[in-house]
Chains A and B, each alone.
Chain A
Amino acid sequence: QVQLKESGPGLVQPSQTLSLTCTVSGFSLTSYNVHWVRQPPGKGLEWMGRMRYNGDTSYNSALKSRLSISRDTSKNQVFLKMNSLQTDDTGTYYCTRDLGNGGSWFAYWGQGTLVTVSS
């Protein structure tokens, strides 16, 4: 079955870089798009960016200058790197896969990983 799992450091210091990994199973990264979505504690959802099935990327313009998404298809992994972290970057980070029918509907989600930005 389709599974996604985020991993990375739970604590990051301000101004440092966040590196997260999404390890997927049950589908191929060359067939489906994978997105990153984050959620500050007690708040709503924010789409961060996307790794398309063909290797193209797109980013939320609000984060574009700080964000990079890449992948390793041989390891079934998608990576997120975001620099210059601040306290308002604290939250749960999810990787998600879309439905695959042409729309960016987030049909499968990882469990999420909580990232705290603090010194």
Chain B
Amino acid sequence: DIQMTQSPASLSASLEEIVTITCQASQNIGNWLAWYQQKPGKSPQLLIYGTTSLADGVPSRFSGSRSGTQYSLKISRLQVEDIGIYYCQQASSTPWTFGGGTKLELK
């Protein structure tokens, strides 16, 4: 199975700050990577798919990138509504696997 290692596990940031979360794949997954946001008590929401494509309705302050087998989610100007847990997911080969999550809090 492909392992997805997310970092950091938790992150505290201020409003309007730039936030970056990374995900390391254990092998080459190409651009088969997605990011999700989960708010407390809610279902996950797709933010980005195919490494860089923004899902419908997702604000443009979210963006994704890749360098080799390391993937990044960037929030350009943190807003209150961005607080939650973020997960990466690989869709290169089954079983589809998720990173362990990054809990984003307000400083």
Chain A interface residues (CB < 8 Å from chain B): 35, 44-47, 50, 58, 60-62, 94, 99, 103-107, 109-112
Cross-interface CB contact of B98 among A44, A61, A112, cutoff 8 Å: A44
The bracket for how many chain B residues form the interface is: 20 to 34
Question: Nearest Cβ distance between residue A107 and chain B, in whole angstroms?
Answer: 5
Are the CB atoms of B43 and A94 closer together than 8 Å? yes
Q: List 19 A-B contacts (CB under 8 A).
A: A35-B96, A44-B87, A44-B98, A44-B100, A45-B36, A45-B89, A45-B98, A46-B98, A94-B43, A94-B44, A99-B46, A99-B49, A103-B49, A103-B50, A104-B91, A105-B91, A107-B49, A109-B44, A109-B45
In the complex, chain A residues whose CB is within 8 Å of the CB of B49: 99, 103, 105, 107
Q: Would A47 and B97 be within 8 Å (CB), given that A103-B49, A106-B89 are in contact?
A: yes
| A interface, over-half SS | loop
Where the two chains meet, the residues of B that have a C-beta atom closer than 8 Å to any C-beta of A are: 1, 32, 34, 36, 43-46, 49-50, 55, 87, 89, 91, 94-101
Set of chain B residues within 8 Å of A109, measured between Cβ atoms:
43-45
